[in-house]
């Protein structure tokens, strides 16, 4: 049986470190979370962030804007938090309604408060392998999970499945910065199975439940499953159906082949939240130094 890379355990250690660090601050790091519309999953993610903030002694202000809000109104909100010296990080909860351009909103966030690391200044700093920017939370979480379990990255063959702006690309770049030899696979990749089997470390961010099965992996591989898909199962009663969170990897199919694997839930998900707050605490420190 593979070693299970327990993201909850690592998250709890990060939580403790952050709580202790914040305890020594004269103020409290504060994150402003801007949510637009009523996406149910976003609401759950916002709740998670608020709970995490509370557990480490940080503040999280949730700004809920209606789905038909005008861009100017959103930009005014961003500007208010840019100017507010008591707010150290600003996050746009994605996705937002298609009528609005998330790029314009993210670009309006001051780079020093862009703790999600999605603005062009922070993206460039990541590309340049400079440590002065903020790395997107999921990418940072994946690297921290590997680091915690003492899994070396330098010189290893890493395959990232997925090339999104949010996960696949920054993860590939961060691993390249860490001296891995990186291949990025996507929906047009021919013989994807052959590519995934070639990896020492396989990172899947495709958003396809159980996409990776036993024939896609090989013995001893490290598998990081980023995928999170809510799958509706049997009806529990007339109105409610069972919903389970499923990863991109068929855990049971591969667990006796690979060397280590991050579970879903309980792997990269908890690491993402913890990493976001590591970025917030860094932002606080920089703004108060």
The contact set with ligand NAP (CB under 6 A) reads: 138, 161-164, 166-168, 185-189, 192, 205-208, 226-229, 268-269, 272
Name the minimum Å distance from CB 156 to ligand NAP: 21
Contacts of 63-68 spanning 24+ positions with Cβ under 8 A: 63/32, 63/33, 63/34, 63/35, 64/35, 65/34, 65/35, 65/36, 65/37, 66/36, 66/37, 67/36, 67/37, 67/38, 67/97, 68/97, 68/99
Name the minimum Å distance from CB 196 to ligand NAP: 9
- CA proximity to 45, closest of 280, 273, 277: 273
**Residues taking part in catalysis:** 49, 93, 116
- CA proximity to 7, closest of 255, 264, 197, 251: 264
Gap between the Cα atoms of 92 and 103, Å rounded: 10
Name the minimum Å distance from CB 109 to ligand NAP: 19
Distance of CA 195 to the CA centre of its chain: 24
Closer Cβ to ligand NAP, 100 or 159, answer by number: 159
Closer Cβ to ligand NAP, 29 or 162, answer by number: 162
Gap between the Cα atoms of 280 and 29, Å rounded: 7
Closer Cβ to ligand NAP, 16 or 186, answer by number: 186
Name the minimum Å distance from CB 13 to ligand NAP: 18
Name the minimum Å distance from CB 206 to ligand NAP: 4
């Amino acid at each position: 049986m593979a070693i299970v890379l327990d993201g909850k355990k690592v998250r709890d250690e990060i939580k403790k470190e952050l709580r202790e660090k914040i305890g020594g601050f004269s103020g409290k790091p504060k994150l402003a979370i801007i949510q637009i519309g009523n996406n149910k999953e976003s609401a759950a993610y916002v709740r998670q962030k608020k709970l995490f903030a509370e557990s480490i002694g940080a503040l999280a202000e949730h700004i809920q804007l209606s789905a038909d809000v005008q861009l100017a109104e959103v930009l005014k909100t961003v500007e208010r938090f840019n100017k507010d010296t008591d707010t150290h990080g600003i996050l746009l909860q994605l996705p937002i309604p298609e009528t609005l351009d998330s790029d314009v909103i993210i670009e309006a966030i001051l780079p020093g408060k862009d703790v999600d690391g999605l603005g062009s200044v922070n993206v460039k700093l990541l590309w340049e392998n400079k440590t002065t920017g903020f790395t997107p939370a999921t990418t940072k979480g994946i690297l921290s999970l590997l680091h915690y379990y003492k899994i070396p990255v330098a010189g290893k063959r890493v395959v990232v499945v997925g090339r999104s702006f949010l996960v696949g690309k920054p993860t590939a770049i961060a691993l390249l910065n860490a001296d891995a030899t990186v291949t990025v696979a996507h929906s047009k990749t021919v013989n994807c199975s052959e590519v995934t089997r070639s990896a020492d470390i396989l990172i899947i961010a495709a958003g396809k439940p159980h996409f990776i099965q036993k024939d896609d992996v090989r013995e001893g591989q490290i598998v990081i499953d980023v995928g999170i898909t809510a799958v509706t199962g049997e009806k529990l009663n007339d109105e409610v159906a069972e919903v389970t969170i499923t990863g991109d990897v068929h855990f049971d199919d591969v667990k006796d082949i690979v060397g280590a694997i991050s579970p879903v839930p309980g792997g990269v998900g908890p690491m993402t939240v913890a990493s976001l707050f590591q970025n917030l605490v860094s932002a606080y420190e920089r703004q108060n130094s």
